[in-house]
Structure 1
Amino acid sequence: MVKTNFAQKRNGRSLENNDGERGLKDTMDDAAIAGITMMKGFVRSFLSADSKCIQRHICDASLNAARESRELGSVISQIGG
């Protein structure tokens, strides 16, 4: 739910200021989305007993974090994964 709220806020306003740069709030929103996505993957992996499922949950979370949160999401997914 929190992830959806961040994404809606991000999509509802311009991501760039007049100089073509993204603001600190947008960057923090991306970091929060990536963190929430990775946390969801970690929780799913802890609830799984099969090692292949654990790896799959972490890989899926990393992929989604990188896809949904731009450059910062890619960095967070590499660190978290």
Structure 2
Amino acid sequence: MSIIIFLVIGLIAGLIARAVVPGRQSMGIIATLILGVVGSFVGGLILSFLPGGEPFPSFNAAGLIGSIIGAIVVLLIYIAVRRRSGRTA
């Protein structure tokens, strides 16, 4: 997969995750991109544990959904860590 496509999918996953999770996330476009890329790795890891799942599947609907789910998980962890450290999200 091309690195450009990977970054675009990561950005889309990050934007969707930020839209789904309630509250205000003070993140710029680069932080959203990083959120989506890390979420893609987490989503690929989650999908690899499912029966018949392959680690980091090629680009398909399941991979995109896994990326979005992974980005949501990463965003929720990020919000929890920021709240615990005393910063407001």
One fold, TM greater than 0.5? no
Higher helix share: 1
TM-score (ref. length: structure 2)? 0.37
Larger relative CO (CA 8 A, sep 6+): 1 or 2?
2
Structure with greater Cα Rg: 1
